[in-house]
Structure 1
């Protein structure tokens, strides 16, 4: 496992290339994979889009657990610390995410109080955030992470100054959401007006009358027939194919409409910060709703006290597990990474999971489609070691406030 190389593009990121590239360079599929890789080589997710409350309930997460998780935007890893696990090992193929995870951890450990953490990581337009970083956080970062945040962007600004503005409007996903707002506005719809609703009924009326008709517009149906149109969501070509398997007419517009409907209508707006980021492009103010789990004041002390138990690696999941002893991990969080994988990669991963899993270990993951990605793909010796919690998985899929995925899945290690 190597440390981050903050300025390495896709062509130099061998870990990402190994995970993503499955087809010949000059084939249509190969070109699509390489285009996605170029886009994915920068910051993709400033915020993770999996619901940590669902994660922790599914894992039955308790004090003393040993966790391995994919990093992404880092929010869930920090939320897990509220349960005081023994250790968390974070892996990510994207060095930008590695740098973000390490910054968030350092902020909890070294900023003076909860209010300063909230200002840095949860509030837009705080002009003193970069100064706060230099005074309290920078001296405690490793050299690679500090170089990343103090390097200059294409406009000559140091990267850390994004926290003076709104980091959640940057990255691949942040810019994709901005484009969605622009397209909606070109059709006369201001998505941020959802903030004016005061009940589930009003949220439903806004969606039915303003948002749903957009999915019948020719431009949107044309865009959603193309894999590249969803690269901004961090959806690789393989995952687009999973979504397309749910569609009937060559466009995934109906699938996206259904997912956006859940985001807008199935949870009270004040309880769903994912909806605030999608529609208002910020977190709610205290009088408007709740913050992400890790930014809530009631969890601050536990996260600050246990942040030193986290190690962040620029590595893939299988690579990390291969170096661990047998029966040494209690909980595994795979996000949606398996949607990218070949059958060989899935089997390599689950061989290591099965080897390193302690008694009663649990694996949780999400899929673009509704069914588990593992069905019929694992070698015979592996599935018998695991119990799939089908009913619990379906129930928690419905509770996931991010509403992005088709399925949430829980596997538990059977007794030997």
Structure 2
């Protein structure tokens, strides 16, 4: 099935009608290209929540691929990475083959970390091109809007590409137009200076009339991967206005974690990874995990399908961990029930599910049948504590459910 058909099946549901129906169609069209060159959920928070034992079977959504690769550090039996969007699976395959076939850690860091070396064209042609899957090869060899093959992204700031990369670039220009400067944040030497610089160079942009108007437009957020249904959940949490909700989440990203230990802030504020600091890199690119990831790299398996369709093919009691990112915010009651029927069937004893939500609350208590909910346990206070550790800081909630 094509990416368009899979995305349509996920976005179009019982709530698709009227103005929302048109918005759903626009979002589905927008989301069918490369959206995320890197992922925006913190895999360290995921691993802390899951407490995986070696040999676990893991199901995750691929997105930009960083987290699926990071889970290999836990020595799983398998990581199954599912995605509706073939472009995301092509990005995952590129990263997987770079880790597997480039000669050493330094080459991997140059290719996937800095992602801005002219030598990366040679690395691609010598070590990666012939090892990509057919679908990934077709994606990377095809030409982008610039007229060059897409593999040139890795010689020209790879993470500034994709819809989200473009959106971050626009955000930098917008904040400058409003008199601020996102990149100024990177001059901070400690948390106190981060807060001072945020208040001086970032916060005022969120109070402008123009931003308040833009924050009310769902279309403006499509490049963040926020569909109309998730936008509605955000509005429910934004009692004092969406502009203040976005301001608080940006403050959380900029001020609640040391910048030298936050790869998400490095991308949002600097539009690159700081490859000179190991703690500023995503987990899968940190050197002390490199040998483990390379040893386990063939345990990563991509799947171009839906979560529910994948699980329908799996044996009973076969999965230990599920990571759904924010996908459930897209789902109506029927879609959630179908998914969790398969999750419950395939879950091994004490299996865990981790996901994010645009709003603060989980949708499960309102939408799942009581018979399914009774088989799972969650702790609201623990969920709040987990959310506080997620350095990406863009969501309203992080939730952990454990099979009883």
Q: TM-score range by the shorter chain?
A: over 0.9
- Please tell me whether residue 323 in structure 1 is matched to residue 313 in structure 2: yes
Per the alignment, residue 396 of structure 1 pairs with: 386
| CA contact 1:269–1:289 (8 Å) conserved in 2 | no
When residues 148 and 386 of structure 1 are mapped into structure 2, their CA distance, relative to the original with a 3 A threshold, is same
Q: Is the 8 A contact 1:23 1:29 kept in 2?
A: no
Deviation for aligned residue 1:380 = 2.0
Q: Take 1:23 and 1:361, find their aligned partners in 2: how far apart are those partners?
A: 30
What is the alpha-carbon distance in structure 1 between the residues aligned to residue 42 and residue 78 of structure 2? 20
Q: Deviations over 1:355-387 (max 9, x none)?
A: 000011000001011111111211121011111
Matched, 1:342 2:332: yes
**Rounded Cα–Cα distance in structure 2 between residues aligned with 1:184 and 1:157:** 30
Residue 333 of structure 1: aligned partner: 323
Q: How far, CA to CA, are the matches of 1:25 and 1:411 in structure 2?
A: 29
Alignment partner, residue 171 of structure 1:
162
1:210 CA displacement: 2.0
2:19 aligned with 1:32, yes or no? Answer: no
Q: Which residue of 1 aligns with 2:265?
A: 275
State the alpha-carbon separation in 2 of the partners of residues 387 and 33 from structure 1: 33
Decide whether the 8 Å contact of 1:327 with 1:358 is kept in 2: yes
Q: CA deviation at 1:294?
A: 0.4
Task: Find out whether 1:234 has 2:239 as its counterpart.
Answer: no
The aligned residue for residue 250 of structure 2 is 260
Tell me which protein shows more helix as a share of its residues: 2
SS state at 2:392 partner: coil
- What RMSD, in angstroms, separates the aligned Cα atoms of the two structures? 1.4
SS at match of 1:381: helix
8 Å contact from structure 2 (residues 259, 280) kept in 1: no
Q: Could you tell me which residue of structure 1 aligns to residue 177 of structure 2?
A: 186
The verdict on how the C-alpha distance between 1:323 and 1:176 changes in structure 2, with shifts beyond 3 A counting, is same
How much does 1:150 deviate?
A: 0.7
Match of 1:313 in 2: 303
1:56 has 2:47 as partner = yes
Query: Residue 200 in 1 paired to residue 191 in 2?
Result: yes
Query: Aligned partners of 1:294 and 1:42: how far apart in 2?
Result: 24
Secondary structure class of the residue paired with 1:67? strand
Deviation of residue 191 (structure 1)?
A: 1.0
Partners of 1:247 and 1:329 lie apart in 2 by: 36
For residue 212 of structure 1, what is the aligned residue in structure 2? 203
Aligned residue among 142, 147, 156 for 1:151: 142
Q: Tell me the distance in 2 between the aligned counterparts of 1:170 and 1:307.
A: 25
User: What are the Cα deviations for residues 306-330 of structure 1, in whole angstroms up to 9, with x where unaligned?
Assistant: 0101110111100000011100000
| Residue 363 (structure 2) aligned to one of 352, 368, 373 | 373
- The one-character-per-residue Cα deviations of 1:211-261 (angstroms, maximum 9, x if unpaired) are 111111011001001111111211111111100001235x41111001000
Displacement after TM superposition at 1:394 (Å)? 1.3
Q: Distance in 2 between matches of 1:285 and 1:69?
A: 27
The 3-state SS of whatever aligns with 2:316 is coil
Number of corresponding residues? 404
Contact 1:336 1:366 in 2 (8 A): yes
- Distance in 1 separating the partners of 2:121 and 2:49: 37
Measured after TM superposition, the shift of residue 24 of structure 1 is 8.7
Q: Partners in 1 of 2:125 and 2:237 — Cα distance?
A: 48
Return the offset for 1:130.
1.9
Are the aligned partners of 1:148 and 1:159 in contact in 2 as well (CA < 8 Å)? yes
Q: Aligned partners of 2:184 and 2:358: how far apart in 1?
A: 28
State yes or no: 1:304 paired with 2:299: no
Give the drift of 1:23.
Answer: 6.6
Separation of aligned partners in 1, 2:73 and 2:336: 31
Instruction: Give the equivalent residue in structure 1 for 2:377.
Output: 387
